[in-house]
Amino acid sequence: MRTKLLPILLSVLVCHGIHAQVFQQEFGNPRKDFVETMATPDHADSRYLTGQQATLRITARLGGAPVEGITVRYKVGPEMWLPERYDSTTFIGGEALIRMGTMQEPGFLACQYEFMAGGKKHADLVKLAYEPELIRTFTPMPSDFDKFWQQALKEARRVPLEPEYRDIPDATTPEFVTRLVRLHVGKDKWMQGYLTLPRDGSGSSGHPVVLVPPGAGSQKISPSDYFPRQGCIYLKLEIHDNDQLLPDDEYNQLRQQKCDGYMRRGMTSRDTYYYKDVYVGCARVVDFLCSLPQWDGRNVIVTGGSQGGALTIVTAALNEKVTLCAPFYPALCDLTGFLHHRAGGWPKFFSGFYSDGRIDISQDQALETLQYFDVVNFARRLSVPTFMSWGYSDDTCSPTSVWAAWNEITAPKQSDITPTSGHWRFSSSQAKCLEWMKAHIGQGK
């Protein structure tokens, strides 16, 4: 049966490919969407003073012609606190105006809008900043914060790293060698990741190291040659010690058993909270990278997005070897924001409307623990040059929470803010980050 089915599938795929080619040849390949939209605030930089009124202009073209008479439904309110009911306005001459109002305190005003055109629903989320440089965190700094983390790292450093390697032939080339490495980063904690090293024909050392912690969840990670092509040793990390080489079905079953709800696990105490071993483990991975003979002995870069952005800041604050810190839209910032009717960071603890942010213990217990893990407190401890990039339309790691962390950084810092981006980055932001890294390599500790 299988041998008969394969030619049929191949025939279908070939016919589909031929049909697509014939369609493009006969009817052309569209370069634009039939319905083109743009949302433009009346302040080009999306920034306002408290008390200033804001207007959002929605422009829409249907096959190049202005949309006329179509209803736009919208909600406006503080970010993550939008009302349940929609208001509405109408397109006239291809434009619809939404009077968003104002804010009386620093923060972000959000607008969620939608309309039907060309047989499809078009929707977006737009957020405007009100004096974000004045946003302050609600999270206190524990008096024994430094002592707690110094002791935790000291204990982890007593455990030998015991690296275990597996070759990855598919990601190994004449220019790079890639291996999957598993590291013992604490008493009961292992991590693994893809380690890629540039090949040196002479066997000489002299490469910066780059650590990239992962975003939230427990998905498989993939090797990359992006940083090795810049002459760097690169490690893409997985924090849960899930075997990256398992078949997908087995892997998905494993990660559900091991990792579901990990962001809440052990929160009754700072000593048992899941992120304690993760934070310290990331710092130990830096120790491992700096033990490699190919390291240049000086430059250590940490960069990542979302949870990886949070772990970037934490690692740079904990490990004295780090010389450059480059987080993107970091999670785990200003975790108590929702208790003050203000957007907090992922996992949105205390929000009451996000499953990852569910609290299974008393609020007092959670608050006692989380102050040791809130990234704003690690941002306060940063001492190395920091490049941070984030957008305003992010509904996962709220810009309010990211600004709360940014405003606590006293180290040399550079921001790349792209108001229209959500929980993702433009390629230009990554390019700016890389240029910043190149400019700072060799200038560190």
| Catalytic residue positions, numbered | 306, 394, 423
Please provide the size of the chain in residues. 445
Q: How far apart are CA 122 and CA 374, in angstroms?
A: 36
Contacts of 287 (CB under 8 A, 6+ apart): 157, 161, 319, 321
Please tell me the chain's helix, strand, coil percentages from 3-state DSSP, rounded to the nearest 5.
Answer: 30, 30, 40
Beta strands (DSSP E) in 322-412 are 324-328, 386-391
Long-range CB pairs of 247-251 (<8 Å, 24+ gap) are 248/220, 251/220
The DSSP secondary-structure symbol of 92 reads B
Least Cα distance to 46 among 403, 387, 442 occurs for 403
- At residue 193, the 3 state secondary structure works out as strand
Integer Cα distance of 164 and 335 in angstroms: 36
Nearest residue to 401 (alpha-carbon basis) of 411, 392, 410, 413: 392
